[in-house]
Chains A and B, each alone.
Chain A
Amino acid sequence: DARVTQTPRDKVTEMGQEVTMRCQPILGHNTVFWYRQTMMQGLELLAYFRNRAPLDDSGMPKDRFSAEMPDATLATLKIQPSEPRDSAVYFCASGLVASGSPDTQYFGPGTRLTVL
């Protein structure tokens, strides 16, 4: 049963520290998405990649957030320096976006980030 995996599941850190979240998309999927969820804002799209190339990262604060896909099996979301307002659950999702495909997105379990 293929699924998206994310590590760590929980992260508590202090303000100013660097945080790296990792995602392993489902093998064969060509698109990876990063979302952030808070009580106030709900689910927000931060960035996404197609065939490892960044398509859109307009949802991310550029000064502190960065997203990369060093290879097809790994996507990373980094925050440096972290701030208390970054506290949220970060979800990674992957999907096969192509002609004839249903464009279904499969979400990982999320990383719960708490910045003190």
Chain B
Amino acid sequence: DAKTTQPTSMDCAEGRAANLPCNHSTISGNEYVYWYRQIHSQGPQYIIHGLKNNETNEMASLIITEDRKSSTLILPHATLRDTAVYYCIVRVRSSSNTGKLIFGQGTTLQVKP
């Protein structure tokens, strides 16, 4: 699975959009981009995933560049409860895959009042 690079930490003002970048320059054509987050003392939580097209759900939006070498997770109106470590993970999805996730160090997002 492709390696990802994320900033170690970011700050965001409450109510503003939080834009979390992820570089995955060695991504291959059949690898998806997944985002999970981990709020302090809890288990990781799935946020969103995508292959090529931009995706949106009730939690966030995922913007993937045309060359797929990077992506951005957008929390449109960050709240204090969005303070967490955000993990960008790239992996293959197929009927024969293992489903396993390899977590990096992630980005610690601090939402400030």
Contacts and interface: CB of A to CB of B under 8 A. Distances in A.
Interface of A: 4, 31, 33, 35, 42-45, 48, 50, 55-56, 91, 93, 95, 97-99, 102-110
Interface residues of B, number: 21
Contact of B99 (A35, A91, A103, A108): A103
B103 A43 contact: yes
B68 interface: no
B101 interface: yes
Interface of B: 36, 38, 42-46, 49, 87, 93-95, 97-105
Dominant SS among interface residues on chain A = strand
A68 B34 CA distance: 28
Contact of A105 (B46, B93, B102, B104): B46
Given A91-B43, A107-B45, A55 B103 contact: no
Interface centre among A44, A93, A108, by most B CB within 10 Å?
A93
